[in-house]
A and B are shown apart, each in its own frame.
Chain A
């Protein structure tokens, strides 16, 4: 965060402090990220990010004249425990806002609780969409902010004609691949030119799948791989890819779940040129990002990297701070109303805007893997508004979400009725 920004927020906080005397101090911020179990790999980083953001904010004077206090709980990668811990945060610790979750299933687990108790959750990870909850702000990418632009890049810039959609067998790859299959068919790719494969979490035996992908090229069409492979399994996949000598120029791979963190477990020399699509890369060349990366490294150690969900928390947290300041309270409904239209500068340049459908408008970046495990950004779009319901599946094309005007997250624009107020889980 740049100094100017900090002082601006501090000043705003000072002005807003007058009506905020009724505010209970300290303001509690719930952090609901797994610190143990399988997801600790990714989520611990986000817990550290939140602690850093809260410290920075307290150093700048807190919010509404109050100190912020992080309430960290460990849902231990256990999905039912997420619901339990969310209830605990909201009813026992009485937090004003929760930042948390990584996997979709954990989000689905806390949704009923958050909606029942009218809490506020900021969800920082790219996800499959097809959901809109009144009580959740989605600061990660929806499919149209990551998957669709990356596919367009494949179609237009790399002229890929045959697609291998490889994914880990869970909801994000399933839904994303479903959307992509439908999208590709609309773009004129024949059904038999789309190869889909699902593997279990942590899969390590990739030789046959890589061989299958290489064999796809036998009919003379350019093959591209869209990977929604999650977590550790990527290590084996990329090692096999490198061993098979698959060059990014012959069969490019674009990944949606591989960021700087994941690459730190790999030797990337043989992977140079393969792609990833995100809304943020550590290599983004802006002033704000340099400060952010420096602060992170100073706190966590020189070898640590930053990644996209961290930026999502960065934007989400700052927007929440500004919205609470604007509303003069941390009361959920007031903050929620104040969130719409909040703007905050991205770390990659440009400005993120919170839309009435609780998604952000953010730029989409495509990066090529470099030898040092970082990404070289080769394409950056304008801000793309996040879309809760994809336009490329017939069931959800008719749905829209607007919590500001329509006050409905699942509005059928054809029949003009609100399908349901609660979200589907």
Chain B
């Protein structure tokens, strides 16, 4: 919580993107989260990604549930559409919005409580339906708003601030998303923007259900010794499988890699994902292999991060149910109400 708003003055050399906005134009209101909250870094990464992609803010809809994470959309993309839904119900509201208007970019923002506890069912179904969205989980392993009880994603054996030990199994949302049919699954860390920003950009460009499980330390209740979601712990146990460069037509390729260590994946919309391998045998297109690798790392006490799974030929809800291309609000009365002749024909076909 901050008393003054962020001054409007900015660095004299602050550049503008191709649609005429500076990075500052993608910011929201000043954060009321605790100082040092990982969620603020994720917000900053979303701001950076949208700026770099030169997205017009009015083309984005950000939807969230309940919790610290779900407050975060207020703190970025202040000029975008927003919807703060009920607890755990962000996926269904987002699905409805997506059905009504497929032209917007949908950003679902949720937390480990919102997605892995009360909203677990919704989480599973939005993945399997292939809603074209970016589902960002700000995952800190605790219920921050109610003072730090373990959430459903907390690792078994981790220790709470006051010493209680978690005896329940933790839910791994990344593995679950792969199982449920998500076509872009990544994990990252709020403290590593070099990894996170390209992943957000790639997820936005992915024409299907994309999920980003972002470990985001809770400085107030889960940043102590014994926690497996603290800044120190995650830095020590972070095992990136790859480094991602997101390449649009014009963007220069900045990173240099040794030959043979990169894989390029063309996406249907013309963008390219370039993956530099870190784990030598990791193949993000191999679903079973990905699941096994994540489990193996978990057993070793490590956290696998990076682009974990990618289906380069994703399916999408609108394609499956053959809905109209245009947003519903753009259809005129004649199209929406074709008259009793048409109704009669439909009824006749069903007899």
- A joins B in a complex: no
Which residues of chain A have a CB within 8 Å of any CB of chain B?
none
